[in-house]
Structure 1
Amino acid sequence: MNAPSLQDGIDRAGSAINLLWKPGVAPWTVPVVQPEYVGWSEEQNAWRSTVALSDLSYHMSDTVIEGPDATKLLSAVSANNYENFAIGQAKQFVPVSYDGNIIVDGILLRESENRYTLTGVPAAQNWVKYHGTTGGYDVEFSTDPDSSVRKDGDPKLFRYQIQGPLALELVERAFGGPLPETKFFHSIVTELAGKPVRALRHGMAGQAGYEFIGDYADHAEVKAALMAAGEPLGLVLVGGLAYFTNGVESGWVPTPTPAIYTDPRLEDYRRSLGLFSYEGQKPLNGSFFSEDIEDYYLSPYDLGYGRSISFNHDFIGREALLAAKDAPRRTKVTLEFDVDDVHRVLGDDPGHTLTYARHRVESEGELVGVTYYTALIGPVGTVLSLALVDAEHATPGTRVEVVWGEHPGAGTAPDADLGFPRIRATVQTSPYDEFARTQYRLNRV
C-alpha cells in the first residue's frame, strides 16, 4: 500500500474529477532533452521532408516482465493476441478494465520466450505489476521510471528514433548497408559503432524509420554514429517541444484517462497506487467538463485499436469489450483549425501551441465531440487537433467549432455559457498524414 493512496485522494477531494480537474495546467514536456534545436516548425518539417533524430531516452517508463508466467500474466490483463507474438516483435499493448475501457496503452516488446519490456506512461505498467503480484504469477518486475521521476542517475536504456523520407538512407550509411528486411514493429539485434543495439522498425510521425535501443552506457557512441551518417542528408535533431506534436498527425491519442477511478472492484487497486502517482496527478482541463469521471473514459475501439484486440483468450474486461465491439461510438478525426480564427483567438504568433485539453466540439451550439491532442503544425500552417466526434459529423469537410477555454470545474454547470471564443474547424481524416493513413499502418498488428 502507498500512503496517501489514490483512493485517499479521491475520498478527500470528494470525487475523482475534483482531484484531477486542473484548469490552465501547462502540458508536460520532455525532461533532459533540449526544448528546441533549430526551431519548432523546422523540426516538424524534418520528419516530413528529410530526416529527423529524436531522443526518447528520458520521457517514458520501462518495466521488464520476466519469468515462466510472463505470457500468462500479460494474456490475462490485456486484449492482445499472444499466440502470434514473435520474439523480437513489439505490439501496441491494450489493457482494459472490467468495463471494457482502456487503462492506457503502451509498447510491449517480446525480448525472449519469457521476457517482455513494456514502455510508455506508468499506468499500464502499474496495472500489470498489481495483477502479477496479487495473482500469484511466477514473474519478476524491474521498473526504470522516466527522468522526471528518477531522482538521480541515468536511464537504463537509450532510445533513438530516426524517421523521415531519408531515414532508410541514413540507416544504410550508418550500418554500411541496409539492415536485414524487417517487418513493421519487429526488431533485430545488431551492432552500431561496435555497440549492441536493437533496431525496431518503427516511425511515430507516419514516416518510415527505426528506433535504436541499447544500454545507456553506449548512448553517446551510437548517437555520434547516427549524427555522422545523417549530416550529409541534412539530419535535424528534434527537441522536446516538437517531438510531442507528431502524434497529432499520425492519429495517436497519448493520454486517455485510465478507467480505474469508480469501479468498486478496483478499490484495492486504487489503494495500491500512491496519490502522487501518474494516476493521481494526471490532470484534466479544457472547455469540456463533466462531474462524472467516466465521461472521460475511452474504449480501445475509440482509439482505433480494434486490429490489436483478440478474443481468443480470457482477460479482464473481455465480456464488456466484446459487447462494445459493435456499439455506436464516436469517430476519431483530425480537426483543421481555421487560420483566421487561430490568429483571432491565439494571436498573430500562436507560438508553441500544444495541449492535451479536453475541449468541446460543437455544431450549431450542440456538443458533438471532444478534443484530445491539439498542436500548431508549422508545415501545415495551422493548428490541428485529434478529436472524437459523433458519426454524423465525422465526414471530411464537415464544419464544426472548437470551444477554446478553461472550464473552472465543480460548481459551474458543464454547459454554462462562459463566453469562451469559438474556433471554426474542418473535419479531416485521422491519421492526417497521408503516409500514415495509407501505408504506415498496413502491417500493424
Structure 2
Amino acid sequence: MTTPSLQNAIEQAGSPIRLLWQPNAEPWLPEVVDREYAGWRQEQTAWHQGVALLNLSHHMYDMWIEGPDATRVLADHGVNNFEKFAIGQAKQYVPVTRHGHIVTDGILAREGENKYLLSGIPAAQHWVQYHAEKGGYDVGFATDPSSAFRPGGGDPKLFRYQIQGPLATELVERAFGGPLPETKFFHSSAVTLDGRPLRALRHGMAGQAGFEFIGPWEHAAYVHEAFLKVGEPLGLVQVGALAYATPSVESGWIPSPVPGIYTDPDLLEYRRYLPLFGIEGKRPLNGSYYSEDIEDYYVSPYELGYGKMISFNHDFVGRDALLKAKDEPLRTKVTLVLDPDDVRSVIGGGEDPGFVLTYARHRVEGAAGPVGVTMQSASIDPVGTVLTQALIDPEHTATGTEVTVVWGEHPGAGTDPGADLGFPRIRATVQPSPFNEHARTLYRHNR
C-alpha cells in the first residue's frame, strides 16, 4: 500500500486550509515526559528564580548530514552565514522558499569539517534532504526520529538535558567539580562527567542562564541521576511537559510557523515527496483568525525576528525575495500581555483559568479593526497572566499600545472568515519581544 503524500491529502481535502483547520485542536506537548513533576507553576518559577532540569531527549528529530557537499547544500538552502561557522558551534538554521517564506527553523550544530547535526521538528530536515537528493549533492544522511515516531520504538541515540535558571552555573560547577570551559553563547565544549563524554552547549530558555548537555544515550540515566543528586540541595525542579512548552513565549521564539510550501507549483514534486503523516500535514490550524487562503498564514523570517541571521554573502534559495522584502513594510513580532481580569473572565469563567497553552491564530484588533494575529499563548505564572507572541502591523507596535485579542474558534469552511461570531475580547498591552529583559538585551550578546 502506497503511503499517502501531503499532496494527496491536499487534493482529497480540497485545499491546504481544509486539510489543516481543526477548531479546538489540542496543543503539542513533548513526548515521553511527565505532564508535571512539582506542578507547572513551581516548574516555571524554578527557571526564573532557582534551577530547573528539562529533558529534551525524546521530542527532537535528529538528522546527521555528512559528506564533501554538506556545507554547500546547507548554504544553498539556508539564509545563514556559513563563512563564520566553527566546529562545535550551533546556529538557528533558517531555510526559506523561493518566495522568501520560511519553511521552519531548526538547530544546526557543526560537528566536523563536513558533518552537521540538524535537530528540531522534521520540516527543515525534509527540505534539506529533498534538495540534496534532487540536486545530486555528494552528501549522506542518517536520521533518528523523535521517540513518538521512531520505527519499532526503542531509545534515542542522544540524550539532551538542560540545566536552567539563576542557580544553573552553581549546580553545573558542583556536578563537574569546577567551572566548565569558557564557552560563547550557542557554542559547545567537550566535557566529561565521571569519565562519561558529553558536550556542554551554552544555551538558555526564556533568557535564563543555562547549559544543554548532549551525549550518547547509554549514559543518559547516569547523567540524569547525577544532576538530580547534586541539584537537590539547591532545590532543583524537574520540568514537565506543560511548563516545558511555555518559555518560548517569553524568549520570543515562535515554534512551528506554517511552512510556505503548500501553493507554489514549483513545489508540487516536493509535496508529493512529503508523507502526509509529517509535521507539514498534521500540525493543525485553529483560532478566531481564519482565511481560506493558506498563503495568509505564511511568514517571512523578518517577521519572526530573524533578519540578523540573514547573510547575503552567498546565493541561496529565496535570496532575491528576501532582498526585496527587506525594504517592505512587514508585520512585527511583539509580546501581548493579556489583561488578568479579562483572562479570568473569558478563559476561566471568572475563576483562575489554570494552565493555558495554545498555538491558535487569534485575531488582534485595534480601534479601527484587525491589526495582526497571535502565534502562541501561554500562562506565565511569575508574570501573573497569559503572554502571547503575535505578529502585528508596524503602526501598532509601540510599547504600551492597547489592543484586543479575539478569543474564539472559527468553525472553518462554510462560515464567513470575517464573521464576528460573538467571540469575547481580551484586552492586551503591547510589549517587546522577547518579553524577558535578559533574553532581549543579553541573550545573544556573545552569539
TM range (shorter): over 0.9
Are residues 1:303 and 2:308 paired?
no
| 2:23 matched residue in structure 1 | 23
Specify the code of the residue in structure 2 equivalent to 1:331.
T
- 1:408-435 CA-to-partner distances (Å, cap 9, x unmatched) read 1111111101011101111111111111
How far apart are the structure 1 equivalents of 2:292 and 2:347? 28
Displacement, 1:365? 5.5
Displacement, 1:443? 2.6
How far apart are the structure 2 equivalents of 1:34 and 1:2? 35
How far apart are the structure 2 equivalents of 1:243 and 1:193? 28
How far apart are the structure 2 equivalents of 1:255 and 1:365? 30
How far apart are the structure 1 equivalents of 2:299 and 2:194? 43
Equivalent position SS for 1:148: helix
Are residues 1:3 and 2:3 paired?
yes
- Once the two structures are superposed, the pairs formed by residues 32-431 of structure 1 within 5 Å of their partners are 32-150=32-150, 151-347=152-348, 348-364=351-367, 366-431=369-434
- 1:130-177 CA-to-partner distances (Å, cap 9, x unmatched) read 011111011111111111212410111100001111111111111111
Specify the code of the residue in structure 2 equivalent to 1:34.
D
How far apart are the structure 1 equivalents of 2:2 and 2:395? 45
Displacement, 1:118? 0.3
| 8 Å contact kept, 1:69–1:139 | yes
How far apart are the structure 2 equivalents of 1:27 and 1:291? 22
- 1:304-345 CA-to-partner distances (Å, cap 9, x unmatched) read 111111011111111111111121111111111111111111
Q: Percent identity?
A: 66
How far apart are the structure 2 equivalents of 1:112 and 1:378? 41
Specify the code of the residue in structure 2 equivalent to 1:201.
R
| 2:442 matched residue in structure 1 | 439
How far apart are the structure 2 equivalents of 1:111 and 1:270? 30
Structure 1: any 5+ residue segments left out of the alignment? none
| 8 Å contact kept, 1:2–1:273 | no
Counting matched residue pairs gives 444
Specify the code of the residue in structure 2 equivalent to 1:418.
L
How far apart are the structure 2 equivalents of 1:204 and 1:301? 22
| 2:13 matched residue in structure 1 | 13
How far apart are the structure 1 equivalents of 2:64 and 2:354? 39
| 8 Å contact kept, 1:350–1:376 | no
| 8 Å contact kept, 1:286–1:405 | yes
Displacement, 1:349? 2.3
Equivalent position SS for 2:149: coil
Specify the code of the residue in structure 2 equivalent to 1:360.
R
| 8 Å contact kept, 1:47–1:165 | yes
Instruction: Provide the TM-score with structure 1 as the length reference.
Output: 0.98
Equivalent position SS for 1:122: coil
Displacement, 1:2? 6.5
Equivalent position SS for 1:43: helix
Specify the code of the residue in structure 2 equivalent to 1:203.
G
Specify the code of the residue in structure 2 equivalent to 1:285.
N
Structure 2: any 5+ residue segments left out of the alignment? none
Equivalent position SS for 2:119: strand
- 1:83-133 CA-to-partner distances (Å, cap 9, x unmatched) read 110000000001000100100001000001111000100000000110111
How far apart are the structure 2 equivalents of 1:2 and 1:415? 39
Displacement, 1:229? 2.1
Specify the code of the residue in structure 1 equivalent to 2:7.
Q
How far apart are the structure 2 equivalents of 1:430 and 1:275? 33
Displacement, 1:253? 0.2
| 8 Å contact kept, 1:2–1:274 | no
Equivalent position SS for 1:59: coil
- 1:162-211 CA-to-partner distances (Å, cap 9, x unmatched) read 11111111111111110111000000111113211010000122111110
- 1:216-236 CA-to-partner distances (Å, cap 9, x unmatched) read 111011111212221121111
How far apart are the structure 2 equivalents of 1:94 and 1:397? 31
How far apart are the structure 2 equivalents of 1:186 and 1:233? 26
How far apart are the structure 2 equivalents of 1:333 and 1:425? 11
- 1:269-296 CA-to-partner distances (Å, cap 9, x unmatched) read 0000111111011110000001110110
- 1:50-83 CA-to-partner distances (Å, cap 9, x unmatched) read 1111000011101000111100110111011111
- C-alpha change, 1:389 and 1:412, in structure 2 (3 Å) is same
